[in-house]
Each structure stands twice: as C-alpha cells, then as structure tokens.
Chain A
C-alpha cells in the first residue's frame, strides 16, 4: 500500500527540483492529495503540469492509487 512519504519521494525524484506535500486523505493508502511546486512546470499549461505528475505513477493511478488530487504551481525565483 503506498504511503504519503512514498508518493512524495517518487514525485521529488522524478521531477528535479520539485517540492511536494502529500496527504493521505482517508488514511487508507489509496486517496491522496498532492501540492507540488516546481520550476520544471514553467511554461506548461495546467493540463501539462498535471500530466507530468501523473506520468510519474503511470499505471499505479487507477490501480493502487485510486485517486490523486493535484495542485501544481510554478516555483518563483
């Protein structure tokens, strides 16, 4: 069962320079919310920013991770 810490680590490893806060919404290890700030999001539309994060998890989304709610933001210098 995935944990918030695991999701945070996977996001931060896959998106260089990103900072993620991940909450397990139910405590059940399957519904998460993540807030991610990254310079890598600069120039990307919201859709593209979210896709970038979803891509980190591939088929785990809809599998072990039933729901991952996202808020993405471009890091300001």
Chain B
C-alpha cells in the first residue's frame, strides 16, 4: 500500500498513544482549532470553547497514517474524535448530545458557563487544499 516501514507506522501509533496518554483532553480533528477544515471538527472546537475547557488538538490531515492508526487504536471510523483521560468520548454527534444534556461539562470537569450558547447546526465539509504543520509533538 505504501512504502513505509513497519517501524515508522509503529512510531506513528506510539506518538498518538502518547499524545492521548499525556493530554487530559485531546481532540483529533481536520485542520487546527483556529482553522478547522471540516464543519464537524469546527463544531467540536466550538463546543469545547463554549465550555471554556482547555484541550490539546491534533490535525490528522498532514499524514494519512495519523488517521489510519488513530482509527485502528480507537475502533472509530470518523474524525473528529475526542479523548478525555485516555478514553474515547465520541465524535461530533456524541459530543453535541453530551453538551446539550450537560453531561459533557461533567466529563470534562468544568462548569457550564451560564451564557453557554446552543450549538448551531452542523456545517458541512469545506475541504480545501491545505498545508499544515503536524501538531502532534
């Protein structure tokens, strides 16, 4: 499929596993929080920001192995994916449901800000050719 050696795949997997282990809240997404490249990723960023929850973010677009290995680890086919304390919480649909029910604030250990806005309808892919730095480090 590719000419990558098993060692390189192994290191990608290890880098993802370390990132999940070392960051209490981490979002794997398309694009960056400042420049999301997909409506679903944008909505998750907006949700976390609405709860004023600090989070780490990894852009999976620069290297297709990131998405492959992430989905292999999490057994979850789509992006974005939110992990809290090492556990997969869900993708965009589950994050939105948990936000609306108030459970997400509990999972994240934050207070729901009184002015927390209702989430807007999901946007759709606005994929564009891009170049992005790998923020996994």
Contacts and interface: CB of A to CB of B under 8 A. Distances in A.
Interface of A: 25-26, 31, 46-47, 50-51, 54, 61-62, 66-71
B75 A51 contact: yes
Given A46-B94, A69-B40, 10 more contacts: A25-B124, A31-B125, A47-B76, A47-B90, A47-B94, A51-B75, A51-B76, A67-B40, A70-B93, A71-B93
Interface in B68-99: 75-78, 88-94, 97
Contacts of B92: 69
B122 interface: yes
B78 A46 contact: no
Interface of B: 40, 75-78, 88-94, 97, 122, 124-125
B125 A69 contact: no
A37 to B, nearest CB: 15
Given A50-B91, A67-B40, A71-B93, A61 B124 contact: no
Nearest to B127: A66
Nearest to A71: B93
Contacts of B124: 25-26, 31, 67
Contacts of A70: 93
Most buried by A among B76, B78, B89: B78
Contacts of A66: 125
